A = this chain, B = another copy of it.
Amino acid sequence: LAVTRLTRVLQLGALTAMLVWVLGYLGGLSLSPRPTAPDGSANDTSQLFNWHPLLITVAFPVLMAEAVLAYKSPLVPMSDRPHAKLYHLVLHTLALVCTVLGVVAAFKSHTLKKPTPMADLYSSHSYLGLATLSLLGFQYLLAAYSYLFPKLTLARRRALGPLHSYLGKAILVAGLATMAVGIQEKQTFVQAFAKPASLYEPRMWLPGLIQLLLLATGLAVLYHHA
């Protein structure tokens, strides 16, 4: 299908654009804060923070998008429904792990900041993020309980299908929207604190490009479910 191929291009495009932003313009990646004073009394946690957008890009527009396509147009052809189910489960589990690690990176970049730790949960982005995470956790646990450990009767599992599918699509969209909001927050931090010479240089327009790619990825994935 042409739309399926387009979807892959968009997913890859979003990941690539995020990598370029993070590695080329936001200072790259590091697993620990970078000391900025010889005695270690001050540091820069932005390279630790950068895992946050990167891991979440791997989680939502890449892994979770693929998981939501698992029964319709998987990248790896599936021989039968049990295989598609396993593929769906593995992808969602990897997406969940990346999301949690990504959010931990954001919190750590705040609490490990020296000389003074940064505040937590002050932005509307972080509220929206927690709401999305709650929906995701609820969906994952409910799905594990209902489909994985066969505790529910077949009739009940059948009845749950539409709700699981609705909520699953909603969570993918809510995640992409939360990402767009976080991208705007970071862009405005750059604008307000790093004060770029021009508002139209690449580190200012790249975030806009990423948002457009996320919008297009969402449209393309959900077109398969229209």
Binding site for B on A (CB under 8 A): 119, 122-128, 131, 162-163, 165-166, 170, 173-174, 176-177, 180-185, 187-189, 191-193, 199-200, 204-205, 207-212, 215, 218-219, 222-223, 226
Contacts and interface: CB of A to CB of B under 8 A. Distances in A.
14 contacts: A122-B204, A124-B207, A124-B210, A127-B205, A128-B212, A128-B215, A170-B218, A176-B177, A177-B181, A180-B181, A181-B181, A181-B183, A192-B192, A192-B193
Nearest to A219: B170
A222 B124 contact: no
Given A180-B177, A184-B123, A187-B123, A166 B223 contact: yes
Of listed A180, A185, A200, residue having the most chain B CB within 10 A: A180
Q: How many copies does the complex hold?
A: 2
Given A128-B215, A162-B226, 20 more contacts: A119-B199, A122-B191, A122-B200, A124-B180, A124-B183, A124-B208, A126-B208, A128-B208, A128-B211, A166-B222, A170-B218, A170-B222, A173-B177, A174-B215, A176-B177, A177-B177, A177-B180, A184-B184, A185-B185, A188-B192
B170 A127 contact: no
A173 to B, nearest CB: 6
A180 B10 CA distance: 22
Given A166-B223, A219-B170, A180 B128 contact: yes
Contacts of A192: 188-189, 192-193
A131 B212 CA distance: 8
Given A184-B184, A226-B166, A215 B122 contact: no
Of listed A125, A166, A177, A210, residue having the most chain B CB within 10 A: A177
A36 B130 CA distance: 41
A53 to B, nearest CB: 13
Contacts of A173: 173, 177
A174 B173 CA distance: 9
